[in-house]
Amino acid sequence: MKRHMLLTVVAAFGLLSVLLPVRQGANARHHIPPLASPGVPDVLDKSIAVLPFLDVSDNQQLAWFAEDVREEILLKLAKVDGFKVVPSSNAAYLLEGNVWRVDNRIRVHVQLINAGRDKSIWAETYDRDLPMDSL
Query: What sign does the dihedral 79-27-24-29 (CA atoms) show?
Result: positive
For range 33-53, the mean pLDDT: 68
Supply the pTM of this predicted model. Answer: 0.68
For range 28-53, the mean pLDDT: 64
Exposure class string for 87-106: b at 16+ Cβ within 10 A, else e = eeeebbbbbbbbbbbeeeeb
Residues of the chain by 3-state class (helix, strand, coil), percent to 5 = 30, 30, 40
pLDDT at res. 111:
96
Q: Is the pLDDT of residue 125 over 90?
A: yes
Residue ranges of domains in the chain: 2-21+45-134
CATH for the stretch 2-21+45-134: 3.40.50.10610
Amino acid in position 90: N
**What is the C-alpha separation between 85 and 79, in angstroms, rounded?**
10
Q: Is the pLDDT of residue 29 over 50?
A: no
Q: How does DSSP classify residue 20?
A: S
